[in-house]
């Protein structure tokens, strides 16, 4: 008699994104993918690898090196019934497209009183941790979050990479989808077929809530809340593990969706623990971390046992690769922030 040994299926963050686009294109002929080198090459990070071969050059194709033109073309396609997914090759490469995104993508629905919607996804690899040079490692989420009319998602796990991108593609409003590039090669014990089933069950049952506007507690704790999103969630979890060795029970909240913003989940965790540290790679001044901190102060003031602290990138242009480890929030800087909290009863 033969026996079968069960093996865990592992999936990379990059593969989850690729499969999400492939599944969406299979399900809906109006979904198209385009950008710089996304076709034959499969993108700089190979996130679109194989899509042109499978769906043809009319569904996944290369564009000129003109980000404003890429965004503007997507606007026209979305107005005419398509669901474009565009890739900005690197975070700071998207800046030439900001006029299109801010003036047209974000405002079209309001300008037309809802008659014209733009169901499009702007994929942006962002953040540091890969040894990139200037214009390759920016965390520019605050620009987009500040612009009314845009939704802003940023997954931190393999499962969310698939589920949140599928949800973004389905959304009738424009979504800026920030992908932490240092997580592209991370792996998790996730089965893509299982993720498909989760997505399909949500799509069939409107009572099931997806990631849009829903934060997630990724580690339970009692003493302090560490609030983060995107590439910093992994660092926050490592810091929580290290804090546990010193007897501090840290809860970690992954915001997942910056716009919409899950203020209720934020309030719940801070009212539970009474202390909060906000962690993000972006510069701290006028940032998403600033907004999170302000909302905690407004909603949870009487629950706080200590001032809210932030651990962020420094207020400087992104440094050279040799210095990025000093610029990015790490476990030691988070632990230092925890030490600064008031722990006396």
DSSP 104: I
DSSP 101: I
SS3 111: helix
**Contact by Cβ (8 Å): 116, 108:** yes
CA dihedral for 327, 328, 330, 335, sign (positive or negative): positive
Of 135, 136, 146, 326, the active-site residue reads 136
Q: What is the DSSP string of 47-83?
A: TTTTHHHHH-TTTEEE--S-HHHHHHHHHHHHHTT-E
* Residue 115: partners with Cβ closer than 8 Å, 6 or more residues away: none
Bridge partners of 167? none
Three-state SS letters, 3-60? CCCCCCCCEEHHHHHHHHHHHHHHHCCCEEEEECCCCCCCCCCCCCCCHHHHHCCCCE
135 is catalytic: no
SS3 315: coil
Q: Which residues are catalytic?
A: 136
């Amino acid at each position: 008699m033969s026996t079968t040994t069960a093996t865990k299926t592992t999936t990379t963050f990059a593969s989850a994104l690729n499969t999400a686009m492939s599944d969406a294109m299979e399900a809906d002929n109006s979904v198209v993918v385009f950008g710089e080198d996304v076709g034959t090459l499969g993108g700089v990070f190979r996130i679109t690898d194989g899509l042109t071969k499978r769906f043809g050059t009319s569904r996944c194709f290369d564009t000129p090196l003109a980000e404003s033109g890429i965004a503007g073309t997507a606007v026209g396609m979305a107005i005419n019934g398509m669901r474009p997914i565009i890739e900005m090759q690197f975070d700071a490469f998207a800046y030439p497209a900001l006029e299109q995104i801010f003036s047209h993508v974000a405002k079209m629905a309001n300008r037309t009183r809802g008659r014209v919607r733009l169901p499009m996804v702007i994929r942006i690899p962002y953040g540091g941790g890969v040894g990139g040079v200037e214009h390759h490692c920016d965390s520019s989420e605050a620009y987009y979050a500040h612009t009314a009319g845009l939704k802003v998602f940023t997954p931190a796990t393999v499962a969310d990479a698939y589920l949140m991108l599928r949800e973004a593609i389905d959304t009738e409003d424009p979504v800026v989808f920030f992908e932490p590039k240092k997580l592209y090669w991370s792996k998790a014990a996730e089965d893509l077929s299982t993720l498909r089933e989760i997505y399909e069950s949500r799509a069939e049952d409107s009572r099931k809530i997806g990631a849009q506007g829903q934060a997630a507690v990724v580690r339970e704790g009692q003493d302090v809340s560490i609030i983060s999103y995107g590439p910093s969630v992994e660092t926050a979890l490592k810091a929580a593990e290290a804090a546990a060795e010193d007897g501090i029970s840290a809860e970690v909240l992954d915001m997942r969706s910056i716009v919409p913003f899950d203020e209720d989940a934020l309030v719940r965790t801070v009212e539970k623990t009474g202390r909060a540290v906000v962690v993000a790679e972006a510069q701290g001044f006028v940032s998403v971390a600033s907004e999170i901190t302000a909302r905690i102060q407004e909603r949870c003031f009487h629950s706080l046992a200590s001032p809210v602290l932030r651990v962020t990138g420094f207020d400087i242009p992104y440094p050279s690769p040799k210095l990025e480890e000093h610029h990015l929030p790490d476990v030691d800087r988070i632990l230092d922030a925890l030490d600064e909290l008031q722990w006396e009863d």
